[in-house]
Structure 1
């Protein structure tokens, strides 16, 4: 044995792994022709040290000299899995299996990778062979159960998991897999019973106690989950998992307390990635007077995590992307992942809310179609799960005199969705319709909710309810059509639509893209917002004659006055600006805005956003403006949330983002007398402002290219007379337009729904 190898062995014997690794690296560097055992030892030690990229590199180097070595092939495959390069690992495991068919490690690892990649059928074949070889191995039984569950063969999966537990009663993983499957299948009573049995077998097990909390939360019993955690805290004050779960549970009830618990969890276990990312997410979502500072804090905590990219799961990539979006750090976003791989992973793992951030990243027609497919991927997963479950349904209702129409949204309250939908409740067509509302809102009842309740046949408010139970209860109302208005935004339950609780279903207003479910039949739009190609929608377009939204009087009132004078006359320079969310920005958007400012001498650009007080937000945006020749002193930062309408009095022209344009912000800008320039695209989310401007009689402010976008903005900036005229007349013009004719809008909407229900093929009369 050489001195290097002897030193490495001595270091290992003394428990000094890092020192041993350095000796082994030196050994193969000095003489690449070392024996295969040296490469094996080095790769294993790098794996144990968590240095996966280095380990994979040295395994590849060793395989160049020893291409038929089973151990190196298998270990390199394991390292590739750790690096989330599972597809590259498959041929390595397959080659190892051919070399030594009787060795089981590579076979098991192949099954694991196939499960990672969602190839459950191939994984089942692998695990079935392993179980036949060693039927009393509990892990093989467990993994076969997992594969069967992913194939939708639930009862055989549960049987395998029970066998795993019978063989190894303290197998926490098998207990958790069984509880998770029962919970996902809405077999809540069985899940609770199984959890109780697991705790009998493993009393006081932390992971099982945590599973109880998750089970309560997923079944809508948040209060019970919080109470259980608080009962544990006095005797376990330094258990990080309790602080973590409390933090997650309390985010909607008491954000400061939630942040304190999550910070404590990170302090107690700083190495736990999910603790760190959950704290980052909660900070990013903290809405108070210090919102910009919270975002900045979250961003600074997020940046160092990029060095741990090999550990990222879909939750981590979603949270980090959302933080980087908030501060416009597009380089960091790119480091997290690309448009296609991130979107498909989020969709496959059920993270529909993450797909909203994808809309602003579309850059080509290929991206548009890819985005539709990502939503379809999510929809297929959800519908497959719903198909395996049964919900109680009442017998068909005899056709009555009135159509039963349901609206499902947790935002039918003091919220933009509620304001835009309000005309439908103010002008219900009671001769033809009974209207029902379904909400899962967890906050306090407000005046808008009380008003809607007085108008409709029933306002079903279920703040603590699971998806399956919600679908059953909606089905009990025997609707003719159900329209969802929330997508997967906070507190909504889009999954309910997968159970088809109503024979006809539609989407409107809350989410600017097809949801992804084939069980949603229609998508409400208008002649302007309708996509240019049918491939950009999954549903059938349901076309309003003029506009897909109207300005509810409760929000679009004269309470906030328009300043009579132009900001450009007050200030001596033109002020462009935006109040849009940063997830609608991008490199191209910021540069296009900057080019407009650069083309209008002395002009400035205002960001009216809560992020505007953040140092990183300002620095990252200033970078892109500087590239177009606009200095930082020409940028205005207005850090505000909610009370932003008065700030439009300091803007001369609003510039729209693209491809995801404004919606609420576009109507607000016009209502406050500030004209807006938009870039019209092909898909629905690229045509929101186009529809609003066209219905407002301002279609000439809609550009078809970035060059025209700049030209129109510059032209409007110098057209003082037109801007002055719009400031004086625009509110009255909006009231007289289809956007402001709320009674006619409601009539058009109910006529449209009536036709959809009564003229559908196969309807019994």
Structure 2
């Protein structure tokens, strides 16, 4: 969400010097009494009465210092700083030794923006009285605005030493500490300012800002709510409160904040932008797009609404339009890491790896603290065939050095009882406890866990819960929504829950949080459903199998690979259509197909598929992934590469519809043989094709990510679909398409074969996982005092 900046309202001096000068003749008593009455009115806020008496005094004594000074203060109070100057200068001229008079003149000059003159007057005031609180604060504010914070701190501290309950310097000092990243000190100062002046609106606002920066979001909302109570039209406070509610996943409440702003600030572009973000996360993309456009109508030079518009267009599958938004944003703000990251995401989605990786690298270089951009880079290099195993591993370790190692505890101790045989508390951490492939893989395992051996806690970074979220929640011994929590806070929650085994799911993808492990919240930490190393030495193990990571393979891991007999697990798909005979029997030609993401369709993959198509001159190729194949740039890339290698566009069908699960699976009725991409294989796509009776031909690579389909085929005893070379891949496809009877028999029996295989044996998988958990736990119990 759009950030907020510090706001400072500088209070005018409300001190009035009622000291008396010796007057001449009999008029002394009359003027003195009149001045006393005027000052009483002035202090009581009865400005008109005070002004009338001051003017009467000046008619009698034109150079009266107190009357001139106080009349000048009244003029400033009513926004008439320029007319106030003659009175304030007259007061200084009549009594040059009065520090408060110099300070009053300085304040008027400050209101007029004549900072240098104001500074000179403040310094004259302090030369007379070094402890004058208001002058110290005012001069401190000048120094602070000039970036000379050390000088400002000294001045504020001098004012506070004289008046310990002086709210303004306490708040200004807090702002300096906050700007320095010293948030605890800033929060303590803001609280002191509020204790001294409970109605000090800006102190409440800045407290909310500091608490938000510490990710203490509920406390931040309380502070911001108080600021808004004091000033209902405080747009910046409402905007920040909306952003804080958004971070907590309270989208409707955040929209209420933005709507309140827009009632009195209809030209507040940030309000429209942030409202759009909330609408997007509520699944209302068209309304979100309208808000982003309204923000741009107000201020066409804002890059942030263009970024948000691009992300929403991505959600809708309009990747080319999204890329156009990001390019416009980059033209406005070439230094914005977020834009480069977003451009990388779209380019990855269209299979343009070289460009995507360049943008991700730029995003990381622009903001070395952006773990999100770096995680996306770690994903992208898995797809990129040009990155060697060694280079990939090095980049993962660079991720550790930049984002994880700074948080590694030097020492760590746990209160977990080191009993090797007790019931274990396992914590699963994910953003995918929802309608997602990882959830579909995990749910059978969760159902099958022996709850006498393990109790299950779930740490869910799920912004939009759904039916699968509720299913996980119903199976949980402990359910923790960690939306709005930072990594440290999540780790603290886990420690408070005494988690024994932390399982980080698919850490590099989506909104997952692998860096929670950097804080070492659990004695044993495991990476699961990640197709490569996390790069983190605090991750004790990565779950794999003998096909995914053969022993003595060249791929390197920061973790210890622990091999299940077979990795993949999926429940039978209950609502799937029935398996049908091969469509080649009715069409008279074979149809090859892939329903994998365009991001997986590397150039090498498409070139090999073109070779298959040349070997099978009557064959057709059907491609689908959600609605993305209808994206012009994606289709053009695929058709161009295939055309380079002799395959006409008429033989390629790009399916662009978005369907429900049953409708999606029914499309396999059109496919005879499924083609697996590389270097990043299919996984869920492979299982679904097999479930629908469609054999999947794969060419394994050296790395785990390129062996997923082989890992699924091996326990099905379908190793004949695993090619040893590109030529072998083509031969397998040709052989399958030449044997319609064999293909029919294979197709009709595949579903039963899957049901009877380890792929659907949740109980066996659960026992294997529990044995792994137990072995790692016993190892920790035996070595607990050796290292963190």
Count of residue pairs brought into register by the alignment: 601
| Aligned counterpart, 1:614 | 631
Worse overlay, 226-235 or 435-444 = 435-444
Question: What is the match of residue 639 of structure 1?
Answer: 656
Partner of 2:741: 721
Contact 2:304 2:329 in 1 (8 A): no
- Deviation of residue 271 (structure 1)? 2.7
In the alignment, what sits opposite 1:139?
147
- Which whole-Å CA distance do the structure 2 matches of 1:484 and 1:324 have between them? 27
Report the counterpart of residue 278 of structure 2 in structure 1: 249
Measure the CA separation in 1 of the matches of 2:697 and 2:148: 61
Find 2:321's aligned residue among 281, 293, 297: 297
With over 3 angstroms needed to count, the CA separation of the structure-2 counterparts of 1:252 and 1:619, relative to structure 1, is same
Matched position secondary structure for 1:548: coil
Q: Alpha carbons of 1:180 and 1:635: their partners in 2 closer, same or farther (altered >3 Å)?
A: farther
Structure 1: state its 5+ residue gaps. Answer: 1-133, 167-174
Query: Would the alpha carbon gap of residues 617 and 743 (structure 1) be closer, same or farther in structure 2, given more than 3 Å must change?
Result: same
Deviation at 1:754, TM superposition (A): 1.4
Counting only pairs closer than 5 Å after superposition, residues 352-391 of structure 1 correspond to structure 2 as 352-355=374-377, 357-364=379-386, 366=388, 368-383=389-404, 386=407
Q: How does 1:680-695 map to 2 (within 5 A)?
A: 680-695=700-715
Structure 1 counterpart SS, 2:422: coil
**Does structure 2 retain, via aligned residues, the 8 Å contact 1:406–1:479?**
yes
After superposition, the Cα gap between the structure-2 partners of 1:340 and 1:409, relative to the gap in structure 1 and judged at 3 Å, is: closer
1:577 matches 2:577:
no
Q: CA deviation at 1:526?
A: 0.5
Contact 2:414 2:523 in 1 (8 A): no
Which structure 2 segments of 5+ residues have no match? 1-141, 154-175, 194-203
- 1:308-457 equivalence runs, <5 A: 308=331, 311-328=334-351, 334=355, 337=358, 348-351=369-372, 352-355=374-377, 357-364=379-386, 366=388, 368-383=389-404, 386=407, 395-397=415-417, 399=419, 401-446=422-467, 448-457=468-477
Q: Distance in 2 between matches of 1:504 and 1:587?
A: 40
TM-score (norm 1): 0.69
> Cα offset for 1:374?
3.1
> Which runs of structure 2 are paired with 1:178-197 in the superposition (5 Å)?
183=212, 185-186=214-215
Q: Which moved more, 1:452-461 or 1:726-735?
A: 452-461
Higher mean C-alpha displacement, 214-223 vs 613-622: 214-223
1:529 matched to 2:548: yes
1:626 and 2:647 correspond: no
Aligned-partner Cα distance in 1 for 2:239–2:218: 17
Per-residue Cα deviation, 1:228-273 (whole angstroms, up to 9, x for no partner): 2221112222322111111122322132322221222233323322
Q: Using the alignment, how far apart are the partners of 1:229 and 1:311 within structure 2?
A: 28
Distance 1:587 1:177 in 2: 53
Whether the 8 Å contact between 1:613 and 1:637 is mirrored in structure 2 is yes
Query: Is the 1:185–1:389 Cα contact (8 Å) retained in structure 2?
Result: no
Q: How does 1:493-532 map to 2 (within 5 A)?
A: 493-509=513-529, 511-530=530-549
Instruction: Deviation per CA, 1:722-742: give whole Å up to 9, x if none.
Output: 322210111111222221322
User: How far, CA to CA, are the matches of 1:763 and 1:416 in structure 2?
Assistant: 36
Q: 2:289 maps to what in 1?
A: 259
Instruction: Give 1:201 deviation, angstroms.
Output: 14
Distance 1:359 1:439 in 2: 27
Q: Give 1 or 2 for the bigger CA radius of gyration.
A: 2
Query: Using a 3 Å threshold, how does the CA distance of structure 1 residues 176 and 573 change in structure 2: closer, same or farther?
Result: farther
Cα distance in structure 2, aligned partners of 1:301 and 1:678: 37
Q: Say whether residues 1:662 and 2:678 are aligned partners.
A: no
Among 578, 594, 613, the residue aligned to 1:597: 613
Distance 1:480-1:607 versus aligned 2 partners, 3 A rule: same
d(CA) in 2 for partners of 1:611, 1:493: 27
Determine the C-alpha separation between the residues in 2 that align with 1:295 and 1:338.
16
1:85 alignment partner in structure 2: none
CA RMSD of the aligned region, Å? Answer: 4.2
1:231 corresponds, among 260, 269, 285, to: 260
Question: Displacement, 1:747?
Answer: 1.6
How much has 1:516 moved relative to structure 2?
3.6
Cross-structure match for 2:305:
275
Question: How do residues 535-546 of structure 1 correspond to structure 2 at under 5 angstroms?
Answer: 536-544=556-564, 546=565
Task: Indicate the SS of the match to 1:667.
Answer: helix
Distance 1:481 1:329, change over 3 A: closer
Distance between the aligned counterparts of 2:363 and 2:146, measured in 1?
Answer: 34
**8 Å Cα contact 1:667-1:692 kept in structure 2:** yes
Matches of 2:276 and 2:347 in 1, distance apart?
A: 22
Q: 3-state SS of the aligned residue for 1:692? A: helix
2:750 alignment partner, one of 730, 745, 755:
730
CA distance in 2 between partners of 1:626 and 1:246 (Å): 45
SS in 1 for 2:782: coil
State the Cα deviation string for residues 96-140 of structure 1 (Å, max 9, x = none).
xxxxxxxxxxxxxxxxxxxxxxxxxxxxxxxxxxxxxx9988436
SS, match of residue 636 in structure 1: strand
1:240 paired with 2:269, answer yes
Residue equivalent to 2:158: none
Q: SS of the counterpart of 2:622? A: strand
